[in-house]
Amino acid sequence: MKPLPSIWLACVPLVILVALIACVVGVFGDEALSGASQIALLVAAACCVLVGLVSHSITWQQFEDAIVEKVSGISQALLILLLIGALSSAWMVSGVVPMFIYYGMELLHPSWFLLSACGICAAVSVMTGSSWTTIATIGVALIGIGQTLGFSEGWVAGAIICGAYFGDKISPLSDTTVLAASTVGTPLFTHIRYMMYTTVPTFIITLLIFAFEGLWRAPSGFSQVVQVREGLSHTFNLTPWLLLVPAATALMIARRLPSIVVLFLSAFMACVMAVLCQGHLLDQIGGTDHGVLARHFRATMILVSGETSLDTGVPALNDLVATRGMSGMMGTVWLILCATIFGAAMTVTRMVDSIMQAVLRLVRNTMTLVGSTSLVGVFLNIVTADQYLSIILTGSMFRDTYRQRGYEARLLSRTTEDCVTVTSVLIPWNTCGMTQASVLGVGTLIYFPYCFFNYLSPLMTIFVAALGYKIFRVKH
């Protein structure tokens, strides 16, 4: 095995990446993820490769093998991402999302909207076990309602993400929850029960913040509600039959069908509903140069794969119902691939291991152990750009340390979830951060300040460890 690089050398690519990302954000702003951030990741990866080739005798073939392995590991996530793009467009044009927006504006009181949005997403995510599915379906509808009511997109996206990731974190159906528990050998429900000591207080604080914001700051867009609802009713055929699509989707999720199957079938059903219920919109999308069948077929292909724009008579609503399809996800796919290359370079050169060893030397007591785990988990989210890999690496790296120091495995599994699962969405080039920004149409740096649950969770787990509350030792 190759020797570990020095900690200073291991940090060079990371420092370069952070510096380049800071410059990119400062120069490009909201457009930072449109290409410049991808270049920054490739430049940092190139620096890592150069160090490995020159100072650690790592061959080019080893880099290629590492990249192939990493990219193959995210292939399913890329397919899911493309299907989410198709699903979002199909649900919009078919009228499913507009129907939720139409009735949601009537049922959800503006003062309690942020609290309700967070709670609804939490409930749906617990039942589905997937923050991605929750955000891609009910989250898209809620972002539209919130913007119509006059809330800033950052606040609304923050409420949606906080609720979705809380539910994902405590759901026994969640793949990240199962992964965190199984990686360190903690029984699943023991892991979930133990997380309640840190997760529930954090979520309560989050709900109080959203409740206070909703009551304290009256949104300014109430006058648009009637206009938007009229625009939706005039543009879309909001028939109750549209409820068949989300109902069938919920049933498939309850039956625990694979995510790819659920997303594909849900998008397909929405396309069928678009043909049956929104034929006039398909005529608008497909043009008038063909017969009805050819026109509708053309429109369906366009809405799934490309951009669509509908004329509702309300300028603000036109932006809301515009879709990007699969093509709208290509920038995100590009970013994920570049981030994966950087993560592969950092891993094969063992720079991640070097930083890990340096962190372990700081461990003195329970608080510093948990704090070090949290720090490494967030760091791995940054450099590997994938929450699944970060969960596995964090659990594997610290498993022996926790065992040697006499701590039960559930402390490590809880800390891993508190610091890895929920913070992945806060990193612009992480698969989670890129996906949710693309799905909601809100930049990661815009919703970041309002994801209270996500960045309070690591702090809460360190705080509870510092108190020594419910910290159990292995009984010999």
The model's pLDDT over 81-119, given as tens digits with 9 standing for 90+, comes to: 788 788 878 888 898 888 877 777 677 777 888 998 898
**Domain-ending residue, one of 278, 304, 325:** 325
CB contact at 8 A, 300 and 274: yes
| Dist. CA 220–CA 209, nearest whole Å | 19
Amino acid identity at 188: L
- 67-71, 76-80, 139-143: least confident range: 76-80
**Domain-ending residue, one of 270, 293, 325:** 325
Please report the sign of the dihedral spanned by the C-alpha atoms of residue 148, residue 154, residue 157, residue 159: negative
Number of domains in the chain: 2
Return the beta strands (E) in 276-398 as ranges: none
Task: Give me the mean pLDDT over the 244-271 stretch.
Answer: 85
In a domain, 472, yes or no: no
In a shared domain, residues 306 and 170? yes
In a domain, 476, yes or no: no
- Dihedral of CA atoms 53, 58, 59, 65 in degrees, nearest 10, equals -120
Cβ burial 93-102 (10 Å sphere, 16+ → b, else e): bbbbbbbbbb
Residue 253 has φ and ψ, to the nearest 5°, of -65, -40
Most confident of 76-80, 133-137, 455-459: 455-459
In a shared domain, residues 282 and 430? no
| Dist. CA 469–CA 76, nearest whole Å | 39
Cβ atoms < 10 Å from Cβ of 142: 30
Asked if pLDDT for residue 25 goes beyond 60, the answer is yes
In a shared domain, residues 277 and 366? no
Residue (of 342, 333, 330, 345) closest to 431 by Cα position: 333
Domain that holds residue 196: 76-325
Task: Give me the mean pLDDT over the 426-436 stretch.
Answer: 84
In a shared domain, residues 127 and 266? yes
pLDDT (tens digit per residue) in 243-255: 999 899 888 877 8
Residue (of 8, 71, 52) closest to 344 by Cα position: 71
Please give the residue that has the higher pLDDT: either 259 or 72.
Answer: 72
In a shared domain, residues 128 and 274? yes
In a domain, 155, yes or no: yes
Predicted confidence band of residue 271 (pLDDT cuts 50, 70, 90): very high
In a shared domain, residues 97 and 41? no
Amino acid identity at 164: A
| Dist. CA 115–CA 262, nearest whole Å | 28
Cβ atoms < 10 Å from Cβ of 453: 29
| Dist. CA 172–CA 73, nearest whole Å | 23
In a shared domain, residues 345 and 297? no
In 3-state terms, what secondary structure has residue 291?
coil
In a shared domain, residues 279 and 357? no
In a domain, 259, yes or no: yes
Question: From the CA atom positions of the chain, what is the Rg in Å?
Answer: 23
In a shared domain, residues 297 and 227? yes
Predicted pLDDT of residue 460: 94
In a shared domain, residues 35 and 22? yes
In a domain, 345, yes or no: yes
- DSSP annotation of 407: B
Strand partners, 323: 308
| Dist. CA 3–CA 236, nearest whole Å | 63
In a shared domain, residues 69 and 208? no
In a domain, 343, yes or no: yes
In a shared domain, residues 306 and 250? yes
